[in-house]
A and B are shown apart, each in its own frame.
Chain A
Amino acid sequence: FVGFPPQVLVLYFAKSAELTGRKEEELPDVPTPISSGDLWRLLLRRHPRLSALQHHVVLAVRQQYVAVGDQVVTLADGDEVAVVPPLSGG
């Protein structure tokens, strides 16, 4: 049995939206499971200008923060992945 790789919705906020020129995009065929580091690198290949955020960015998968690194995430069709630059609320 082979499952279909999921289509994921990537959301770009603040500086990352300016660097990529978009607020969101559909990403088809995302490998799963995938490490957060590999997921970040996948986004970097699509949008090299995101490298300006290197070491100062986290991801949010299904509205849970995930540090960029070895943490493995499983993705399902329709899941949201957000690129989260340093916060400045309040």
Chain B
Amino acid sequence: MSEESRDVFKLSRDWLSVQEVVDAVSSSSCGAVSVFIGTTREDQMEGRKVIGLEYEAYECMAQSEFTRLCDDIRARWPIVKHICVHHRLGWVKVGEASVVMAISSPHRGDGQQAIQYGISQLKATLPIWKKEVYESQDADWKENAECSWSTYRERNKT
């Protein structure tokens, strides 16, 4: 009797509970739960101190891209059991977790690889944006280097 695999995605305006994400992927068939927690750094950007982040999402598309991402992860690591991502929306203070991802697998090797890949792909494909807000009340929309249309990538054609 095998348990059906779960893909769980939640956007939350409240602080994230790592335990909740871990519990969402727990399985008696799995000896490993791999977890990634992304937190907001107190960065000094060119002398400006970051006091927090503002997150925005194209919510229904973030969900469908998450589903696509999970299908991709499962195609590469078929042994992965459950996948869960919780991501913040709205204002996030420095030091708080902005994203928690957990993957369960029978053994740790697949889970650890899958989560590394999963976070990179999440940054490349989920329609979520963050704005850094500085002490000066200035703000800057950030870009992931993983995103193929970011200004970090050189454009070869118009």
Contact = CB atoms under 8 A, between A and B. Distances in A.
B141 A89 contact: no
Contacts of A72: none
A11 B132 CA distance: 22
A70 to B, nearest CB: 11
Size class of the contact patch on chain B: 20 to 34
Nearest to B129: A14
B119 A82 contact: no
Interface string A14-25: 110000000000
Interface stretch (A2-10, A28-36, A53-61): A53-61
B58 A89 contact: no
A14 to B, nearest CB: 4
A11 to B, nearest CB: 7
Interface of A: 11, 13-15, 55-58, 60, 63, 67, 82, 84-90
A87 B158 contact: no
A56 B150 contact: yes
A58 B124 CA distance: 13
Contacts of A14: 56, 129, 131, 141
B131 A87 contact: no
Interface string B79-103: 0000000010000000000110000
